[in-house]
Amino acid sequence: MLEVSFNSPQCGWMSIGFEDGVNEFHTTTAHAPHKTALPELMQILAALSDTTEPEGHYLLKWNRDPEEFDFSFYRDGENVLLEIFQYPTEERQGTERELVFAHTCRVSELTAAFAVTFDQLYADRDTDEFEFNWRQPFPYKEFEEFKRQMAS
């Protein structure tokens, strides 16, 4: 079973983690230069939940500075493959990328794992001063769309 954790942001950084009982990957991500990474992630997960699109590939770029990450989501029917690749610099040389995490599961398992951590970020947004610490607003619109799509 996949577990996803996004910890409260601090000074423009956020710790994230992925564990599935066999593999695990933990890192920090930065709020810039990929300023739309968190809302884009929510949009991708909402799109994955759309049952009218049984296949698709979605790519999210995020960074740790100077390292960069690609989060690739490959949907095939009810299943999805999540692959996280790390690049040593912002140049994103394909020959230098390293697969640091991969997990295949049902789309519903993936979105449920992310929902748990997004719900926690949402619940703690005022206490943790999300906007100040992440240096950008909480992605309310994308969060609501993600929740709506999961419910349908």
pLDDT in tens, 8-42: 999 999 999 999 999 999 999 999 999 999 999 99
The domain tally of the chain equals 1
Token pair of 42 as six digits: 């929510």
Give the residues across from 24 on adjacent strands. 19
Give 40-92 pLDDT, tens digit per residue: 999 999 999 887 888 999 999 999 988 999 999 999 999 999 999 999 988 88
For residue 56, the domain's CATH number is 3.30.2450
Domain range spanning residue 102?
A: 3-151
pTM confidence score: 0.94
